[in-house]
Amino acid sequence: MKVVLHIWRQARASTSADFAQDGRMVRYELADVSPDMSFLEMLDVLNEHLIGKGEEPVAFDHDCREGICGTCSLVINGRAHGPERGTTACQLHMRSFQDGAEIWVEPWRAKPFPVVRDLVVDRSAFDRIVQAGAFISVRTGAAPDANAIPVPKDDAEKAFDAATCIGCGACVAACKNASAMLFVGAKVSHFAHLPQGRVERERRARNLVAAMDAEGFGNCTNQYECEAACPKEIPVRVIADLNREFTKAKIKG
């Protein structure tokens, strides 16, 4: 199949909030694309052609290519991770597009995620939020037997749903406010529903919200775009959990 690609090319890191000043869209044509290729494999083919012509290949993030690591952060035709729901860019296949389709590929567009080069963005803001308290620091001794601490089924399922977050940043890219509430909510909700995480619940909620605000992420205005874009389909319920935990923490002081 044939495709026409319009890809954001940016030779160096962002220097301003005005993305248009730092790079431009460049048009490429590919005529040897297999419908069974993943989107990243198609970009590999493009880069092989560019290298063969002595041109600079397109820089893009990838690692596991199995929908686990969350590094394949691309906006494809205006949608984070592309047109398929519950799918990362590395899991998206070219059969999702028509023969001869024009495809627009851009990096995440958010101030806290500055573009490093081409389609690569710096998402270390998420790492700093996690470092602020998205973990259990209390000493619990040796690992207990699996059934030693009873966890209600409903709590276990809610914790597992939140724990599926891969930190890709699609929620931020899809939100008009560049809000990280779904990501932070997933981290807070994950631990809030487990006995091991409840010891530090107030401190965790306060610290993660403070870190999120310090990084410059926007607030949630209930557009639900984050849930629609999330490749793991994390529900916006986790944002309600975050608001609840944060309010309790502020009341307790």
- The confidence score (pLDDT) of residue 140 equals 63
In this prediction the pTM is 0.93
Q: What is the structure's pLDDT at 15?
A: 74
pLDDT at 18 over 90: no
pLDDT of 22 reads: 84
pLDDT digits (tens, 9 = 90+) for 146-199: 677 889 999 999 999 999 999 999 999 999 999 999 999 999 999 999 988 999
Three-state SS annotation for the chain: CCEEEEEEECCCCCCCCCHHHCCEEEEEEECCCCCCCEHHHHHHHHHHHHHHCCCCCCCCCCCCCCCCCCCCCCEECCEECCCCCCCCCCCCEHHHCCCCEEEEEECCCECCECEEECCEECCHHHHHHHHCCCCCCCCCCCCCCCCCCCCCHHHHHHHHHHHCCCCCCHHHHHCCCCECHHHHHHHHHHHHCCHHHHHHHHHHHHHHHHHHHHHCCECCCCCCHHHHHCCCCCCCHHHHHHHHHHHHHHHHC
What is the predicted pLDDT for the residue at 150? 87
- The ranges of the chain annotated as CATH 1.10.1060.10 are 124-252
Tell me which architecture the domain covering 3-117 has in CATH. Answer: Roll (3.10)
**Which residues in the chain are classed under CATH 3.10.20.30?**
3-117
Per-residue pLDDT band at 67 (split at 50, 70, 90) = very high
pLDDT at 230 over 80: yes
Which CATH number does 124-252 carry? 1.10.1060.10
Q: Residue 14 — pLDDT band, cuts 50, 70, 90?
A: confident
Does the pLDDT of residue 37 top 70, yes or no?
A: yes
